[in-house]
Amino acid sequence: LHGIRHQIHHQSSSVIELDPFSLVADELSILAKRLRSMVVAEVPKLASAAEYFFKMGVEGKRFRPTVLLLMATALNVRVPEPLHDGVEDALATELRTRQQCIAEITEMIHVASLLHDDVLDDADTRRGIGSLNFVMGNKLAVLAGDFLLSRACVALASLKNTEVVTLLATVVEHLVTGETMQMTTSSDQRCSMDYYMQKTYYKTASLISNSCKAIALLAGQTAEVAILAFDYGKNLGLAYQLIDDVLDFTGTSASLGKGSLSDIRHGIITAPILFAMEEFPQLRTVVEQGFEDSSNVDIALEYL
């Protein structure tokens, strides 16, 4: 973050006083429209499943596209020289379109992972409405997720940048790895903060960090700045998941758009439990017994 701030300081003579989100509000509306057109499937049943979350009103927070478009705003350097025949403008527009494409791909991968996640967790609510698996069944939810991943791959290939393709294709492996790590039954691993942080990188931070790096690479930034962009996305992603894990204990169904206490009820040990265990080692016995017995959930909550 410091490095990126430093860059902005050198490239712009005035400090931006605007609400940063207003800088990308118009682009987010365009992204919403583009996404709706990118997920249209041939077979009506698949079409209604794949479009489920791309309809108006159930778009989620759009956190990843917002971060990526702001990252693009920070990193796209304009050469302060007179324009020749609008060539520079055309190049800048072309670059921005390619970065918008990264934001769209990232959101499609994210939504695909949500659809599959809800099947794995047997969730009934997502983004304040019935989850797709709940409304249309597990089979269509899995297929719709696969379909979105395919559309994301085609959009990725259209960028014709092998390094960026490799970054975002590897993220899918990371999502699957993180999700599998979460299914561990080993009590040593479940109670280890290192294991939790590694899993959190894979399941949440990898998508944000690698897509931030992709934005920097497309902007033609140096490898050093690309690493800073990656680190920024990684730390932001880890923080985002940590907050998500705390909200699972403190939020309400209305504020979360899904049930609270979902992690602990699924036996998923997250940061709040791990921190509480550092202070109260006796909590480990409860964690090892598991949370199928809801009275253990109540006992654990008392330590938080």
What are the residues binding ligand GRG (CB under 6 A)? 60-61, 63, 109, 112-114, 116-117, 120, 127, 145, 149, 172, 175-176, 179, 203-204, 241, 244
Q: Rounded to whole angstroms, how far apart are CA atoms 287 and 97?
A: 48
Q: Whole-number minimum distance, CB 243 to ligand GRG, in Å?
A: 9
Count of Cβ atoms closer than 10 Å to residue 278 Cβ: 9
Q: Whole-number minimum distance, CB 123 to ligand GRG, in Å?
A: 10
Residue 130 has φ and ψ, to the nearest 5°, of -60, 135
Q: Which is nearer to ligand GRG, 39 or 175 (CB)?
A: 175
Two tokens, residue 96: 């921005």
Look up residue 87 and give its amino acid.
V
Q: Rounded to whole angstroms, how far apart are CA atoms 102 and 95?
A: 11
Q: Rounded to whole angstroms, how far apart are CA atoms 135 and 132?
A: 5
Q: Whole-number minimum distance, CB 105 to ligand GRG, in Å?
A: 12
Q: Which is nearer to ligand GRG, 105 or 149 (CB)?
A: 149
Q: Which is nearer to ligand GRG, 113 or 133 (CB)?
A: 113
Q: Whole-number minimum distance, CB 270 to ligand GRG, in Å?
A: 11
Q: Which is nearer to ligand GRG, 129 or 276 (CB)?
A: 129
Which residues does 24 contact at the CB level (< 8 Å), separation at least 6?
A: 66, 69, 70, 73
Q: Whole-number minimum distance, CB 128 to ligand GRG, in Å?
A: 9
Contact 155, 129 (CB under 8 A): no
Instruction: Give the residue closest to ligand GRG by C-beta.
Output: 60
Burial tier of 236 (Cβ tally within 10 Å: 0-12, 13-18, 19+)? buried
Residues, the chain: 304
Q: Which is nearer to ligand GRG, 221 or 245 (CB)?
A: 245
